[in-house]
Amino acid sequence: MNGGNPSDTPAVRWSGRTRGGYVGNWLSVQAIRWLGVRWACGLLVFIAAYFTLANPAGYRDSKDFLRRVLGPQPFWKWPLLVYRHFFSFGVTLLDRLAVIMGRSKIQCVHEGEFLFKVYLDRGQGIILLGAHVGSWEIASHLLGRLGKPVNVVVLEKEEARIRRLFDHALASKMFNLIATDGHPLRAIPIAAALRRGEIVALLGDRSFGGADVSVPFLGGPARFPAGPFLLAAATGAPIFQTFVVRERPGRYRFFSFPANFISRDILRAGTTALRPHVAQYAARLADVARQYPFQWFNIYPFWEPSPAAEKPQTPSAPVPANSTP
């Protein structure tokens, strides 16, 4: 899935590592284990305040995103909005730990699930293309109830002891992890899972070194990985754009759009031929981000530098809260 033009390499990429370091993540696990979600969220009040005050880079990146989805705000309001963004991120991470560790139960409404169950019942593998919205780990864990193996593709650059911490804490997760680093050979176990009729879940809103495509996103150019679409073209697997969001405490919403099939001819045409597919995904992600502005967690310099500001995208109609997309 590699092969991007070096001249197209974005100036800043996500590091692939969890924020907070070993101590912070260890404390999160222990708080869930011994205090429960409610007390852990109480501690998060202070942790989110610390990051708001002591993380100027994160503050700047959060403000940049929120400005794009919320529009201009009074100067005094920005610290409150960024704080809410960080707090929402922390709550989602605690929910992930609590649900998978069996310390909390949530209700999850599944919309459009029948769209991909048709293919699974035939024994055909499918690709679920998500984003860093809400909690993709919770969604993957809950999909285990379908009786098909769920494989989540992740970038493996985590510190070894943090990886061991989460491996132990999340040992009861109902999904498998497939590590990747952008190398073409890493696609072999992913394609094999699809041939076995399994679910492969990927996140389409972070570029980490392979081929990528620049498309308009929330008023500016941003790069999105081409890998998920190349995988769909190479294997013939249907690709579903799926999102999961936290609607309120104890309740999540999972929704899926109809399948896309990517022609194998695109493998010869190159990544530029994927631009319409990537742009469609980016437009849907933008709609979700506008509806749930505090639940998109790419808090790093996501947009490319642009010499001239692009005309903002016209929002499409929001996804109805109680209907199948």
pLDDT in tens, the chain (325 residues): 433 333 344 444 544 455 555 556 667 777 787 777 888 888 899 999 999 999 999 999 999 999 999 999 999 999 999 999 999 999 998 998 888 888 888 899 999 999 999 999 999 999 999 999 999 889 998 998 899 999 998 876 554 555 666 666 677 788 888 888 766 677 889 999 999 999 999 999 987 667 899 999 999 999 999 999 999 999 999 999 999 999 999 999 999 999 999 999 998 888 889 999 999 999 999 999 999 999 999 999 999 886 554 444 444 444 444 333 3
Q: Which residues contact 205 (CB under 8 A, 6 or more apart)?
A: 131, 132, 224, 285, 298
What's the confidence (pLDDT) of residue 163?
62
Nearest CA to 149 among 126, 133, 129?
126
For residue 297, being part of any structural domain is answered with no
Q: How far apart are CA 209 and CA 215, in angstroms?
A: 17
Residue 14: phi and psi, rounded to 5, are -65, 140
For residue 316, being part of any structural domain is answered with no
What's the confidence (pLDDT) of residue 275?
95
How many domains in the chain? 1
Q: How far apart are CA 200 and CA 88, in angstroms?
A: 27
What's the confidence (pLDDT) of residue 102?
82
What's the confidence (pLDDT) of residue 20?
52
Q: How far apart are CA 86 and CA 181, in angstroms?
A: 27
Give, to the nearest 10 degrees, the angle between helix 78-100 and helix 136-143.
20
What length does the chain have? 325
Max Cα–Cα distance, the chain, nearest Å: 56
Residue with tokens 């790093």, as numbered in its chain: 300
For residue 61, being part of any structural domain is answered with yes
What count of Cα atoms within 13 Å lies in the side-chain half-sphere of residue 303? 21
Secondary structure letter of residue 147 according to DSSP: S
Question: Which residues constitute the domain of residue 234?
Answer: 6-291
For residue 314, being part of any structural domain is answered with no
For residue 300, being part of any structural domain is answered with no
- With beta carbons less than 8 A apart as the criterion, state whether 284 and 112 touch: no
DSSP, collapsed to helix, strand or coil, labels residue 194 as: helix
pTM of the model: 0.84
For residue 283, being part of any structural domain is answered with yes
For residue 126, being part of any structural domain is answered with yes
Q: How far apart are CA 23 and CA 165, in angstroms?
A: 10
For residue 308, being part of any structural domain is answered with no
Cα–Cα–Cα angle for 235, 237, 239, rounded to 5 degrees: 130
What's the confidence (pLDDT) of residue 320?
41
What's the confidence (pLDDT) of residue 269?
87
